[in-house]
Amino acid sequence: MTRLLAIVLGALVLGACTGGGGGSSKDNGKPHTGGTFRMAMVRPRSLDPSQAHTPEEVLLASQLFDSLTSYDPHTLAVQPAVAASWTSTPDQLHWDFTISPDARFSSGRLVTAADVKYSLERVAKRGSTATTNFLLEPISGFAAFNDPKGTANELTGIKVASPTVVHFDLDTPLSTLPALLGNPTFAIVPREAVEATPPAPDFNREPVTSGAFVLKSRTDNVLHLTPAPRTKAYVSAVDVHLYDDEPAAYAAFARKSVDWSPVPPDRVDEVAEKYGRRGFAPYATVGFYGFNLKSPKFADQRFREAILAAVDRDAIVRGIYNSTVRATTRLVPEGIPGSQPDPCGATCAHDPAKARALLHDAFPSGPPPEIFIDYDQDTTQESIAKAMQSNLKDVGITATLRPHAYTDYLNFALGGTQELFRLGWGGLTAYPTADAFLTPLFLSGSHENVTQFSNPQVDGLLKAGRAEPDQAKQIADDQQAESAILSQVPVVPIFEIETHSVIATRVKNVVLTSLGTFDATKLWLTSGPGVK
């Protein structure tokens, strides 16, 4: 079920994206120190990083916890976190990560290799509700450990080589493993705190942390965070104000009770006009429609190309999303290293005349087959499906809408009877490589390859990228693969998510990544109590 959640991720994040951005300390002189940065967010269900199921929960987890690696906020290059360094064998199958001597939990205990193994195993184990557990599939022994019918009681591909070295054995080469392990849901946690029983604190509410900030205290409505002893931060504290929904969080910003808030989708234009776009940024998620390539209806590529040429993604973005998302013709979204401006080119251009000509060539003796448009039912998705239905009708394709309840759709997307069906990828399951957006969906035999796309050239390029230690060559392989995939038309790209937040003018140097996080140790305040 967890890997299925990624398939419709676009629906999950669109109304709940967080953001940040804008402002460099160089623009405002020497950074100030002190003061409390006040964030507003929707009340998290848990502070356990493995249970971060929304962008805001991931953002909060990234302040409280560290994973083995992290990302440079400007380039998304992998950098040390709990791990000080790492090495791999030339074939990218065997890896050693060395724990930093400075890595400590908020309890004061040093982080060890055993903590790393424990933390990743609790995400990967059978029955886990972590949305990202399928990302650990390349690790040897994952299937036996994760499968409900499996018998393994450990993830054998993770070994404690010494107290300070954790060793990984993989079933397939994965040169991007360090990037993958930086996902905040793979944060390192202490077993003794997670498994503690009352009267010890509940880890979901008062966790022992491993990151830049510690939870100093909490009430029902405010989490009070302070920098960990080893942390260098400009602010003295971060207060996270909790609200029941985004409109309430934004209302708190409007009355100047907080310094940062997510923006509800229906207030984006208002915020852009009143406060500017400083808190707007790309978010690594792509929404598209896929073809069930096992259906004989879509066997002729010219029919798929006609559908692609008929769909007016720009009109969908303007008319349905009110331009709160951005039209796209790519699979690897903006902000991810290796993203290309327009890898699809003329193939993805909206061109009804081209669509009609393709249909005439493909079906010279009669009309094209009638098709179903499958989607998870809500108001927005129904509007998109109706817009696509109208576009297709204009060029001579009859399409019937076939909505599905959200909980049913997760299984339907893998059922084999879908036709032209809604997909989304990225967001919570993303890590900053092009491979993360291509291999799961388009490698032959992948569990997430719900279109049943299969192409030997693409398989070779994706596997070559995963086996290539040189990042520039890795990116080149992935870019070539993306162009080759799009040329075969397995999907209709439609939009990329843009995240929206609003930031008080007294807050400087909030640098948002396309993964929806920012480093609160880097921001600073120009005024307020305690600011020097």
d(CA 108, CA 208): 10
Count the Cβ atoms, other than its own, within 10 Å of residue 411.
11
Statement: residue 172 has pLDDT above 70: yes
Q: Is residue 82 part of a domain?
A: yes
**Residue-level pLDDT at 150:** 83
Instruction: Give the model confidence (pLDDT) of 49-80 as tens digits.
Output: 999 999 999 999 999 999 999 999 999 999 99
pLDDT confidence tier of residue 142, bands split at 50, 70 and 90: very high
**Residue-level pLDDT at 406:** 87
**Inter-residue contact 468 to 477 (CB < 8 Å):** yes
d(CA 357, CA 415): 33
Q: Is residue 313 part of a domain?
A: no
**Residue-level pLDDT at 252:** 98
Backbone φ/ψ region at 408: left (φ over 0), alpha (ψ -120 to 50), beta: alpha
Statement: residue 452 has pLDDT above 60: yes
Instruction: Give the model confidence (pLDDT) of 495-512 as tens digits.
Output: 999 989 999 999 999 999
Statement: residue 151 has pLDDT above 60: yes
**Residue-level pLDDT at 411:** 87
Q: Cα angle vertex 477, ends 473, 463, to 5°?
A: 110
Statement: residue 457 has pLDDT above 70: yes
Q: Is residue 470 part of a domain?
A: no
Q: Is residue 146 part of a domain?
A: yes
Amino acid letter, 392: L
Statement: residue 44 has pLDDT above 60: yes
**Inter-residue contact 469 to 175 (CB < 8 Å):** yes
Dump the DSSP string for 13-81: HTTT--------GGGGSSPP---EEEEEEEPPS-S-GGG--SHHHHHHHHHH---SEEE-TTT--EEES
Amino acid letter, 151: T
Q: Which residues pair with 214 in a beta bridge?
A: 226
The more confidently predicted of residues 17 and 161 is 161
**Residue-level pLDDT at 2:** 39
The per-residue pLDDT of the chain, averaged, comes to 93
Domain count, the chain: 1
d(CA 155, CA 144): 8
**Residue-level pLDDT at 447:** 87
**Residue-level pLDDT at 407:** 86
Statement: residue 530 has pLDDT above 90: yes
Q: What is the CATH number of the domain that holds 151?
A: 3.90.76.10
Over residues 32-60, the mean pLDDT reads 96
Residue span of the structural domain in which 130 resides:
53-203
The more confidently predicted of residues 394 and 413 is 394
Over residues 24-30, the mean pLDDT reads 54
Over residues 191-219, the mean pLDDT reads 97
Place of tokens 């708190």: 252
Instruction: Give the model confidence (pLDDT) of 213-240 as tens digits.
Output: 999 999 999 999 999 998 999 999 999 9
Global pTM reads 0.93
Instruction: Give the model confidence (pLDDT) of 365-403 as tens digits.
Output: 999 999 999 999 999 999 999 999 999 999 999 999 999
Pairing relationship of beta strands 491-503 and 420-426 according to DSSP bridges: unpaired
**Residue-level pLDDT at 16:** 39
Q: Is residue 182 part of a domain?
A: yes
Over residues 301-318, the mean pLDDT reads 98
Q: Is residue 40 part of a domain?
A: no
Please state, for a pLDDT cut of 90, what percent of the chain lies above it: 89
**Residue-level pLDDT at 99:** 98
**Residue-level pLDDT at 10:** 41
pLDDT confidence tier of residue 85, bands split at 50, 70 and 90: very high
Q: Is residue 463 part of a domain?
A: no
Q: Is residue 230 part of a domain?
A: no
